[in-house]
Amino acid sequence: RHSREIIAAGHFRRARTSPRRIRRWMRAARRLLGRLAFSTPPRALPDSSPLVNGVAPSVAPSIVRRRHSRSTSYVGEPMSADETARPAPPAPEDASPETKLTSWDFFRSMGSPKFHVAPMVDQSELAFRELCRRHGATCAYTPMIHARLFVEDLKYRKEIFTTHINDRPLLVQFCANDPDMLLKAASIVAPHCDGVDINFGCPQRIAKRGRYGAFLMDDWETVHNLINKLDEHLSVPVTAKIRVYDDLETSLKYAKMVEAAGAQLIAVHGRTREQKRAADVRANWAFIREIKKQLKVPVLANGDIRTLAEAEKCLEATGADGVLSAEPLLENPSLFSDPPLYSPSDPADPLPVEGDVNCELLHEYLEITRTYQTPLRMVKGHVHNMVGSWLKEFTDLRDWLNKTPHSEMTVDKLQAWTRELQGRVNLVKRNEGRVRPIPKKSERQLAREAAEAAKAAAVEEQEREENAVAALDAKKQKTNHASAAPDTPPAVDEAVAN
């Protein structure tokens, strides 16, 4: 009886102090639960099947002991009273290319979300998506996933894609150039998401080498084949994220081709492939507005969304059905919060976030990572994005973060580190009235600058010495030349000589 109570409660660690027989039963039960969790096909999950940490068994990274309420793996947000007309997608076991929702029915089935967490490599993972959802985001993309690696590398698959029963609406984004490989990857995640997105917007060098992302803008046939393959054979809708061209006519033709290929929702980044840095050029909202007018499927706008006010302004200017935010959301995960968590002193320059607001958000994020196991490189990336501006002033805290071995870094230590940072930020505000940092140079920077200055001084001294020696040599050579010249008679006036 005692062992059954332990198993039912999920308190596996108690078995260590239990009698030998109970420990043996516990090991057997644990092995049985493990086999059940990882052997059940995702499409065969009944509505009452338990999920591992709320994660679909086929993609669960590991068996965890935290329990969640049972539910089907295809549950979105609860339907509110004013959403009675919201279309219901087919259950995963019944979903097929013929029964899946399309276009506006698909968009409404997700609740017509306006505020989206954009796909970001190694940054829009489950824990961060959860943080953003708590603060106003109504839909989220996974990080960009390499389709071939996802299919062939199990370790990569378990690390890059985790989800939860409440992680909805969710769009899983892949990059690929092989339609068949893309379909294999998308089929794995289809039962655990609302739709599969294809990345046609990544402008980075790695995308050029891999021939995917924005570098498929030169190969419309491949773009069409990738979308059409999923549209015809995948059990959930396919969406696409694209960029604009330099001219409106080509941008419109491209967007219409993507729609005709089968994309049921299109996110448009208002910058070209060459415009990589958001700080260098403003997003072209006018192009997005024209694309929205021409297409029949829902359109999302991307670019220059740093605050909720700018998001609303973009929706009004473009007529888009929603907006995405990427880098600004990394700096301010509460960007979509209504009302905002804080009001910047200068609305034209809202980033970095002022005061200790992001310290509180970082505490919340770290607490979430206790529930959802997250790779440390992703956690550190978010730490730098959220509070990195203050680390330019408190360089000792930055050095600890950068130099501490991963094996010694824990959530408890990171939270203690965050409390120390928050205390310093509040002290600066109380004593100096500042809510923004003043960057200081670290000892390493000072040493490097001192070494560079010493090197420059040595080079300058060497040049002066060389110039002085060259001047002496020139003077000596001139003197020698004058003393070696033969004596010549004085010139005689030609008129006198005549």
CA distances from 155 to 141, 144, 159, 443 (A): 21, 16, 6, 39
Angle at 254 (CA atoms; ends 253, 260), nearest 5 degrees: 85
The contacts of residue 283 (CB under 8 Å, 6+ apart) are 269, 270, 271, 302, 303, 304
Helical packing angle, 376-391 and 357-371, nearest 10°:
170
139 is annotated as an active-site residue = no
Closest to 220 (Cα-Cα) out of 188, 197, 245, 195: 245
d(CA 138, CA 19): 49
According to DSSP, the β-strands at 238-243 and 195-199 are parallel
Give CA–CA dist 202/243, Å, rounded. Answer: 9
Distance, CA of 116 to CA of 138 (rounded, Å): 6
Q: Rounded CA gap, 124 and 127, in Å? A: 8
Q: Which helix (H) or strand (E) holds 250?
A: helix 248-261
CA–CA separation, 422 vs 416, rounded Å?
Answer: 10
Buried b or exposed e, range 310-331, using 16+ CB within 10 angstroms: bbeebbeebbbbbbbbbbbbbb
Please give the Cα distance from 240 to 484 (Å, whole number): 86
Q: At 52, give phi and psi (nearest 5°).
A: -80, 110
Q: CA dihedral defined by 282, 245, 296, 115, rounded to 10 degrees?
A: -30
Burial of 208 (0-12, 13-18, 19+ CB in 10 A): middle
DSSP string, 151-214: HH-HHHHHHH----TT--SEEEEEE-S-HHHHHHHHHHHGGGSSEEEEE----SHHHHHHT-GG
- β-bridge pairing 195-199 and 145-146: unpaired
Which of 242, 333, 345 has the alpha carbon at shortest distance from 288? 242
Q: In the 3-class helix/strand/coil scheme, how is 321-374 assigned residue by residue?
A: CEEEECHHHHHCCCCCCCCCCCCCCCCCCCCCCCCCHHHHHHHHHHHHHHHCCC
How far is Cα of residue 182 from the mean position of the Cα atoms in its chain? 21
The catalytic residue among 175, 202, 314, 359 is 202
Q: Show which residues are catalytic.
A: 202
